[in-house]
Amino acid sequence: MDDYDVVIDALQKHRDRLWDMTNRNMNSEYFPLNIMDEIRLFEQLDAAITARKNKKEWVGLTDEEIEQIVDHWNDPAMFIDAIEAKLKEKNT
């Protein structure tokens, strides 16, 4: 399996189990009254799987970028803001 991710695997197994239970319940004479709860769980599991699959690797600052920020800002608060802005730029 390419790019195996244990979190995605676990989420997918839970989703598959929920799907099996939902199918059994829907075919039962005791149709569940809480089907909307099951649908919400599907939506939440699908959203979690998609979010995990779309997760990017963290990108840090290069030595050159750090040097540019250090050389440009004397005020510690502005220095921290500049670092935070650069990291947000690289990771979103």
76 within domain boundaries? yes
Verify that 19 and 46 share a domain, yes or no. Answer: yes
Do 47 and 74 share a domain, yes or no?
no
The total number of structural domains in the chain stands at 2
Tell me the residue range of the domain where 77 lies.
Answer: 58-92
pTM: 0.44
Distance CA 18, CA 34 (A): 13
Q: Is 41 found in the same domain as 13?
A: yes
Do 44 and 67 fall within a single domain? no
Considering the domain architecture, whether residues 78 and 48 belong to the same structural domain is answered as: no
Q: Are residues 15 and 43 in the same domain?
A: yes
Q: What is the pLDDT along the chain (92 residues), one digit of tens a residue?
A: 456 778 888 888 888 888 887 777 777 666 655 666 677 777 888 888 888 888 777 788 888 988 888 888 777 888 888 888 888 888 87
Question: 29 with 44, same domain?
Answer: yes
Distance CA 61, CA 65 (A): 6
